Chains A and B, each alone.
Chain A
Amino acid sequence: MEKEIFEQGLNHNRRKFLSRLSLGIGSVALGSLLIPDLFSGKQETEDALMRALPHFAPKAKRIIYLFQNGAPSQLETFDYKPLLRTNFGQDLPESIRMGQRLTGMTAGQDAFPLVGSYFEFNQYGQSRAWISSLFPHLSTVVDDLCIIKSMHTEAINHDPALTFFQTGAQVGNRPSMGSWLSYGLGSENENLPAFCVLLSRGKGNGQGVYSKLWSSGFLDARHQGVQFSNSEDPVLYLSDPKGMSKDQRRRMLDQVSAMNELSYQEFNDPQITTKVQQYEMAYRMQTAVPEITDVSKEPDSIVKLYGPDCLVPGTYAANCLLARKLSENGVRFVQLYHQGWDTHDNLPNQMIGQAKDVDQASAALITDLKQRGLLDETLVIWGGEFGRTNYCQGKIAPENYGRDHHPRAFSIFMAGGGVKSGIVYGETDDFGYNILENPVHVHDFQATVLNLMGIDHEKLVYKHLGRRYRLTDVHGKVVSDIIA
């Protein structure tokens, strides 16, 4: 194998020429099956060796990341803290807070009155995990979940915190997790992008998302997330114009191709050949994408599983169903964002609405993947950018309160894709404020996700303007305790 790799390196110029012919999404897959570096013609042979991907046998092949944008409260979902109810209205003890910084929203408050969950908690499944009454469906799949209660991050505002989760840095133009995976592993389906993005919004307080979050940063633009839309075109500019038949489209492609061929005869530029191939790929996408986004042929049992909203384009439920379809067709990374979790006030009401949006469909996705035998190779991630404070922001009543941002401890869950199922990992103190055991930093989380995909996070590097960049920056430890 080593010899082969070296010999490929030696054919450098020829290969670079070839690489010009293979800049498409489909070709990424081809390239990455071999040695991506040699195909991109950008790095050194030794780097190619170092990065020969995957670095070890992957447990997961694909990821569906259900990002709960705005930061759902851990205290109303997975982190059960009866003490907060008992101590309702009492000030957060300084021995717990230990002078941690606060956002400008609550820094001016005279007091930090503790407030417990409005929602009841119960234990479910063999793992006896605590889950609140907001999630009746998720509680039925609890034995498929790996709940992490000890996440922590460095940012306390939405934009930097989201950016941190997705790119490994709070600011800057770095590649998103999906872009890194597209770069490292390519796509499994040459008619679909490797990295797809689906957006939805609940009725709760929204915080916006930014295309920067699925940007390829300094990586090639072909690794950028392709945003699917629920408007006229599932992928931008996908549909032929009104009145254009398939025959006409084919005729135009043949015409353009014949003209480009004349141009190639004159200039000999490999880019011209690439262009022709990209048009063919576009043409194939025009068929493949609508087939996948069409949910009208899904059987009743599936509609029932995800709930009736899954037939309403642009809802979280519809996006979960679409995510399953994209994923099962080989899309490496499907990134969902569901907005509306930023519950600074009126928390119980807002949480009810948000939970109603996501509970059934999130559970359905896991069940659906499982019944198709895909859960083992598909990693599902559910969570927000940070947690929420154990004390109340603004007016306080047992049934109406708000919570500010809390980066020091929050909960997410993962399922499938090689993580242990039916476990709860990490523990917070009785106030739900500090982590007591097994802290998982965002970089640790990222390192673990890459590990599940067969990637050593220290070896998936890209050199840009003199520096080697990684998703985990210069940090990150794989949390091997949660790997099956």
Chain B
Amino acid sequence: MIPSRILLPLIWLPSLVLFWSCSEKNKENTSLLPADQISYNFHIRPILSDKCFACHGPDANKREANLRLDQEESAFAALKDSPGKFALVAGKPLQSEVYHRITSTDPNEMMPPPTSNLALSASEIELIKRWIEQGAVYEPHWAFTRIEKPKVPEEEWGNHEIDRFVGLKMKEKGLAPNPDASSSELIKRVSLDLTGLPPSLELLNKYSGFKGQYSYEKLIDELLASPSFGEKMAILWLDIARYSDSYGYQDDNVRTQWPYRDWVIHAFNKNLPYDQFLTWQLAGDLLPNPNKEQLLATAFNRNHKYTEEGGVIEEEYRIEYVLDKTNTFSKGILGITMECAQCHDHKYDPVSQKEYYELFAFFNTSLEKGFEGDVSVSKPAKTPILWVDRQDLDGILKFINHQDTSSLSISVMGEMEEKRTTYILNRGAYDAPTLPVEPGTPASLLSFPASFEKNRLGLAQWTTHRDNPLTSRVFVNLIWQEIFGRGIVKSAGDFGMQGDLPTHPELLNWLAADFMENGWNVKRLLKQILSSATYKQSAAITSQHLEIDPDNLYLARAPRLRLPAENIQDLVWYSSGLLNKDIGGPSVKPYQPSGLWEAATSGRGVLATYVQDSGSKLYRRGIYNFIKLTVPPPKAILFDSSNRDRCELTRNRTNTPLQALVMMNDPMVLEASRVLSTQLTQKYKDPSQAIAEAFKRIVCRDLKNKEKDLLMAYYEAELSHYQAMPQEAALALEVGEYPIDPKAITPQNAALMQVIVSLYNLEETITKS
């Protein structure tokens, strides 16, 4: 027997509702003083939702004993199956059947029942007891309540509101903020966050020490204005929009959705307000007199997979496409995973199956088909199609980087004249329609105003309505996740009952309200976060950090985060001077190990074999790599990119030996190293100067003495190796397509090249810290 005291690691939580925030619920159990108020939202609902709602929650078909615990009224009602008994009696745990059952050891009585494989911990039982003692007060789910702007706490630390919230939480946890990071660290950090590129030498020098007119604020403004900003931000959105360059499914032929990708970049660069950004994508075609840019934006809903397998049942796939649109909308924009309700009432969130199909109905009246022929008649876009000609490319669609004279076709949205009726589908099966439904939104979130049209435009208005509890919270949280590596709500795609709780609930509300008050201005939001003292802290980790806050939930230090796959590619090409800075255009096929597409193809379609590009196309940014859904770019997958099969909001950040193999042996890294070493060998007679410059380009700071010694010793060792075997130098330097001057084939160049490869392999190089 373990004394229960030990099971409750001690965390004292002085304030009321908002104090607790461990987003990995229940793991850090709480120990409370008798006077502490138990919160339904933050203590009780996570337990009930996780352990009880599956049988005593929203799903009417699976409800046991007619008992529903997710709603106050029914939880307090007399138990239908046990006359005279009550699940909950306010203030009286011993008279509450709930408490009796969760403490029972009788297999016939105990809850959750042994067959569920679920169990309550001692601390969870204690919390429920205390909650009942205090009156068993229910609260609406925090994320489904209107976003109110809270008062900013009075704290001394920091530059502005964000810091007050973060500072208060730190203090509660017994943490103190780190000092500011150095200027070179900050320049690299801001540059990666706003452009996805490391800073150039010029930028590092110009802003070094943030002196005179070259202030930190000016740096942010300069980078926000850079066209690379849109390329950085677009990656996040393309994961949500499950963008790819092929149709997926077995034959996986090519499609032309890349003009949509160019639009996303353009929209971020021109700082299209987020509410409009959403409206155009959801319903650009339904706006009054839509222009072609607004039509193009609706490709968002056409990026999912399309089958070209002969013999499919058309309606089965048409329904599948509508499901994907519905799920992408709910997960990517509302941060609610609703797909459970496709087959049955949601088990945890108050979304009924009927409500799911009401939402589905918005997307069920587009002109598209379930099947337009097999791969032998495949076209780059499917009905309805937006045609783009030269006049558009010279005009409103100037941002599409289309170099040749052919016209472009893109799959977009278009509405049927005569609308199809939507039915609830029994168990989600396309061939099992039951009752007809009208378009509508889940009542528990925000009722659909009668004045809105029941179409996608109305849905967009509902989504961006000031009273919508989710849209702004979810987006602000996503941006926070981009910057700090994890959202204020860790489960960025699940703000529902089973999602993680916010670490800083008031800050989230404040940011979300402020974002809407200021016109859904994305660049402003980023500048706000990047200007905070919270953001500017150093990333050094102390033993106190590891003791109190190993996951850095409370941000008493800047996070250290490995770069996303695309930005690793960007960093390598950029620092070597090879990066091709073109924006947009058809996706490119860079170096890739041979045979990958060929081994997995059906043999049909133009993507059966991988035809690598050459010349300047090899040196594009990672966002432009061709994404074939069945065989996504291998390096991207090794570095945790989305495979774009579904809408995703969060990438993992793993650290594996396969990644080490990429950094050591990928021709991209080797060619970049060779080209940079050739350039620096020619520029400097003294290898130590060449190394210093390479280091600054790649690691983005000045070399320290100890590092210099190590690197010089390594250089000398490599140099004597190549001097002894000059033919090996030629072999090492013969990598990549970029031409090499035969005179540059020297042991010195080969040795410097190895030094540079080693620099690309440093942990610090591909880490934002």
User: Which A residues lie at the B interface, using CB under 8 A?
Assistant: 3, 6, 10, 12-13, 16-17, 23-25, 42-46, 50, 101, 103-107, 156-159, 171-173, 199, 201, 206-212, 215, 220-222, 224, 226-227, 229-233, 235-245, 247-249, 251-252, 255-256, 258-260, 262-263, 266-272, 274-276, 278-279, 281-282, 285-286, 314, 339, 404-405, 458-459, 461, 465-467
Residue of A nearest to B496 (CB): A466
Q: Which residues of A contact B769 (CB under 8 A)?
A: 267, 269
State the Cβ distance, B341 to closest chain A Cβ, in Å: 12
Partner of B710, one of A13, A248, A258, A285: A258
| Additional A-B contact list (15), CB under 8 Å, known A172-B645, A211-B643 | A23-B655, A159-B249, A159-B250, A172-B646, A173-B645, A208-B602, A211-B632, A227-B596, A227-B599, A229-B595, A242-B732, A243-B728, A263-B762, A267-B539, A278-B657
A208→B250 contact, CB < 8 A: yes
B117→A241 contact, CB < 8 A: no
B732→A229 contact, CB < 8 A: no
Partner of B758, one of A104, A259, A269: A259
- Which of B36-44, B278-286, B659-667 contacts the other chain? B659-667
B337→A237 contact, CB < 8 A: no
B309→A158 contact, CB < 8 A: yes
Q: Which residues of A contact B348 (CB under 8 A)?
A: 466-467
Closest 8 CB pairs of A and B: A466-B498, A243-B731, A105-B311, A208-B602, A282-B660, A210-B630, A231-B595, A281-B657
Partner of B595, one of A17, A230, A238, A281: A230
State the Cβ distance, A291 to closest chain B Cβ, in Å: 16
| Cα distance, A272 to B767, chains bound together (Å) | 10
| Cα distance, A252 to B763, chains bound together (Å) | 14
Partner of B718, one of A251, A267, A268, A271: A251
Q: Which residues of A contact B600 (CB under 8 A)?
A: 199, 208-211
Interface string of B100-130 (1 = CB under 8 A from A): 0000000000000000010101000000000
Residue of B nearest to A263 (CB): B764
Q: Which residues of B contact A269 (CB under 8 A)?
A: 539, 541, 560, 769
B601→A229 contact, CB < 8 A: no
B652 an interface residue at 8 Å Cβ cutoff? yes
Most buried by B among A23, A240, A242, A249: A242
What are 21 inter-chain pairs, A to B, with CB distance below 8 A?
A10-B9, A16-B550, A23-B656, A50-B117, A103-B313, A173-B646, A173-B648, A206-B603, A220-B652, A221-B640, A235-B658, A236-B638, A237-B665, A245-B728, A248-B718, A260-B763, A271-B560, A281-B657, A339-B602, A404-B311, A405-B311
A285→B661 contact, CB < 8 A: yes
B542 an interface residue at 8 Å Cβ cutoff? yes
A278→B656 contact, CB < 8 A: yes
| Cα distance, A283 to B497, chains bound together (Å) | 45
B661→A199 contact, CB < 8 A: no
State the Cβ distance, B650 to closest chain A Cβ, in Å: 9
Q: Which residues of A contact B646 (CB under 8 A)?
A: 172-173
State the Cβ distance, B84 to closest chain A Cβ, in Å: 33
B431 an interface residue at 8 Å Cβ cutoff? yes
B6→A10 contact, CB < 8 A: yes
A12→B717 contact, CB < 8 A: no
A-B contact count (CB 8 A): 273
| Cα distance, A479 to B543, chains bound together (Å) | 52
Residue of A nearest to B750 (CB): A243
| Cα distance, A236 to B633, chains bound together (Å) | 12
B307 an interface residue at 8 Å Cβ cutoff? yes
Partner of B337, one of A24, A43, A339, A467: A467
| Cα distance, A359 to B594, chains bound together (Å) | 29
A157→B312 contact, CB < 8 A: yes
Q: Which residues of B contact A233 (CB under 8 A)?
A: 593
A458→B550 contact, CB < 8 A: no
| Cα distance, A13 to B250, chains bound together (Å) | 45
Partner of A256, one of B313, B491, B762: B762
| Cα distance, A44 to B118, chains bound together (Å) | 11
A237→B666 contact, CB < 8 A: yes
Residue of A nearest to B317 (CB): A157
A459→B593 contact, CB < 8 A: no
Residue of A nearest to B498 (CB): A466
Q: Which residues of B contact A104 (CB under 8 A)?
A: 310-314, 371
| Cα distance, A272 to B340, chains bound together (Å) | 40
B498→A467 contact, CB < 8 A: yes
Q: Which residues of A contact B250 (CB under 8 A)?
A: 158-159, 207-208, 210
Q: Which residues of A contact B704 (CB under 8 A)?
A: 262
State the Cβ distance, A282 to closest chain B Cβ, in Å: 4
Given A212-B643, A237-B658, the answer on whether A157 and B494 have CB atoms closer than 8 Å is: no
B32 an interface residue at 8 Å Cβ cutoff? no
A274→B560 contact, CB < 8 A: no
State the Cβ distance, B635 to closest chain A Cβ, in Å: 8
| Cα distance, A241 to B734, chains bound together (Å) | 10
| Cα distance, A235 to B661, chains bound together (Å) | 9
Q: Which residues of A contact B6 (CB under 8 A)?
A: 6, 10
State the Cβ distance, B346 to closest chain A Cβ, in Å: 10
A46→B119 contact, CB < 8 A: yes
Most buried by A among B337, B659, B764: B764
B761→A256 contact, CB < 8 A: yes
State the Cβ distance, B561 to closest chain A Cβ, in Å: 9
Within 8 A of A (CB), among B602-631: 602-603, 629-631
Q: Which residues of B contact A220 (CB under 8 A)?
A: 652, 654
B320 an interface residue at 8 Å Cβ cutoff? yes
Q: Which residues of B contact A271 (CB under 8 A)?
A: 560, 562, 655, 763, 767
| Cα distance, A223 to B29, chains bound together (Å) | 30
Q: Which residues of A contact B2 (CB under 8 A)?
A: 3, 6
B369 an interface residue at 8 Å Cβ cutoff? no
Partner of A252, one of B602, B656, B761: B761
B377 an interface residue at 8 Å Cβ cutoff? no
Residue of B nearest to A238 (CB): B661
Given A10-B6, A206-B603, A221-B638, the answer on whether A24 and B314 have CB atoms closer than 8 Å is: no
B287 an interface residue at 8 Å Cβ cutoff? no
Q: Which residues of B contact A281 (CB under 8 A)?
A: 657, 660
B743 an interface residue at 8 Å Cβ cutoff? no
Q: Which residues of A contact B601 (CB under 8 A)?
A: 206, 208
A44→B121 contact, CB < 8 A: yes
B252 an interface residue at 8 Å Cβ cutoff? yes
Residue of A nearest to B670 (CB): A241
Q: Which residues of B contact A314 (CB under 8 A)?
A: 599
B431→A241 contact, CB < 8 A: no
B519 an interface residue at 8 Å Cβ cutoff? no
B307→A157 contact, CB < 8 A: yes
Partner of B542, one of A6, A17, A268: A268
Given A24-B656, A25-B657, the answer on whether A465 and B494 have CB atoms closer than 8 Å is: yes
Q: Which residues of B contact A242 (CB under 8 A)?
A: 731-732, 734-735
B637 an interface residue at 8 Å Cβ cutoff? yes
| Cα distance, A88 to B662, chains bound together (Å) | 58
Q: Which residues of B contact A459 (CB under 8 A)?
A: 117
Most buried by B among A221, A227, A235, A461: A221
Residue of A nearest to B493 (CB): A465
Most buried by A among B431, B657, B706: B657
Q: Which residues of B contact A278 (CB under 8 A)?
A: 655-657, 659-660
| Cα distance, A210 to B498, chains bound together (Å) | 31
B420 an interface residue at 8 Å Cβ cutoff? no
Interface string of B701-722 (1 = CB under 8 A from A): 0001011001100100110010
| Cα distance, A229 to B24, chains bound together (Å) | 39
Q: Which residues of B contact A101 (CB under 8 A)?
A: 313, 431
Residue of A nearest to B754 (CB): A252
B251 an interface residue at 8 Å Cβ cutoff? yes
| Cα distance, A269 to B655, chains bound together (Å) | 13
B630→A209 contact, CB < 8 A: yes
Partner of B593, one of A210, A221, A237, A279: A237
B546 an interface residue at 8 Å Cβ cutoff? yes
Partner of A248, one of B9, B657, B754: B754
Partner of A465, one of B498, B714, B718, B728: B498
